[in-house]
Amino acid sequence: MVKPADSKNYYRMHHWPEAPLFHLPWWLDAVCGNQWEVVEVNHGDELKAYYLYAQKKDRLGLHIYMPHLTQFLGPGYRLTESGIRQRNNEETEMLEQLLSQLPECSSFESRWNHRFQNWLPFHWRNFQQRTRYTYVLPDISDPQQLKENFSDKIRREMAKAEKQFVAEEANDSTALLTLLQKSFREKKMKLPLEKDVLARAFSAAAANHAGSIWLAKDASGKTAAAIFVAWDAGTAYYIIGAKDDAFGNSGAMSFLFWTAFNKLKNRVKSFDFEGSMIRGVENYFRSFGAEQKGFFEITKINSPLLKMKSTMKSLLRK
C-alpha cells in the first residue's frame, strides 16, 4: 500500500494509459483543483486498483462529491483471474480494499463508469445505489453507416442545418459559455456551473490534444449552437453544449454531433453522449441509434442534519 499522503503522486506516475478521460490527472486538476483524491491497491510500481473522488469541507464535515463536467469517477481495476468465480472473488476483494481506505464523511456521492457493475461491497456497508443511463455509439469509424441508424427526424435536421450553417472550431470557451448563460437566463434558472471550470477544462483538453469546441455559425457569423467534446485513447465524450433558441428548430446541435463523428472517426472508437435522465434529452440521444448503458450512482448520508433534510425533502415530494 502507498501512504495516503503519497497516493496522488503515485497515481500521477502510475495511472494506466487506457484510463478513461475523467480518470486522467490533468482532467481532475482542471475540474477539481487540489480537491481530488485517490486510494489505491498496488504492488510496488504496479497499480492494481484505485478509487477516485473529489472532496470538500464545510461546517457539517467532509463531503465526497462529483465535480462539474465529470460524468464518472469511482473505481478502476484490472482483473487477472481467468475463471468466473475467481474473477468475481478478485473484483469483490479489490472493491473491499478500496472501500476500507475511503475517508469517513458526512455525505458521499460517486458515479461510476458503466463498465463497473459490482457495487455489492458498498451495499454491504449501507450505501445506496441508483441506476442512471447513458447512450453510447460503440463504433464511429464509419459515420455513413452510423447515419443509417439515425431517426428520420435527426437526418432531416442534419440536412436542413447543413444548408444553413458551417462548423467552426473555437479557440476558447467564450461562445459556448455565452450560449449556456443565455439559455439558463431565458429559463429563469441559475447556471449550475462555474464559468472558470469550463474554461479550465477546455484549456486542459486542448493542451493535451484531447478536446474541441465546435460552433455552428450562419452566414452572418452568428452562433446557433456549440458543443464541447473531449476524448481519451478510445472514447469521445459529449461534455456540454447549448443552442440559441432564437434560431428555432434549426438542427444545429445535430449538425455539430455529425461534425464530431466525422472529425473523430479515426481518433477514437466510440462516442459517449454522457446520458441524461431528462426525458426529452434522453429521447434525443436515443435518436442517434446509440446503445443504452446503465451506470451506478452510489450515495450515502452520515450527517444526522443532512439525513433530516433529506427525509424532509422526500416527504415534501409525496
Residue 5: the pLDDT is 53
pLDDT at residue 273 in the model: 96
Number of Cβ atoms within 10 Å of the Cβ of 47: 22
Q: Is the pLDDT of residue 311 over 80?
A: no
Q: Average the pLDDT over each of 69-73, 280-284, 290-294, 312-316 and give the range with the smallest value.
A: 312-316
- For the domain made up of 4-133+295-317, the CATH class stated in words is alpha beta
- CATH 3.40.630.30 domain span(s) along the chain: 139-268
Q: What is the mean pLDDT of the segment spanning 236-257?
A: 96
Q: 139-268 has which CATH code?
A: 3.40.630.30
First to last CA, the chain: 47
How large a percentage of the chain has pLDDT more than 70?
A: 96
Q: Are 213 and 228 in contact (CB under 8 A)?
A: yes
β-partners of residue 301 are 107
Which one has a higher pLDDT value, 212 or 195? 212
pLDDT level of residue 45 (50, 70, 90 thresholds): confident
C-alpha cell at 173: 470557451
Q: Where do runs of H (alpha helix) occur along the chain?
A: 7-14, 25-32, 84-101, 120-123, 143-147, 152-164, 174-186, 195-207, 252-264, 279-286, 304-317
Return d(Cα 297, Cα 315) in angstroms, integer: 22
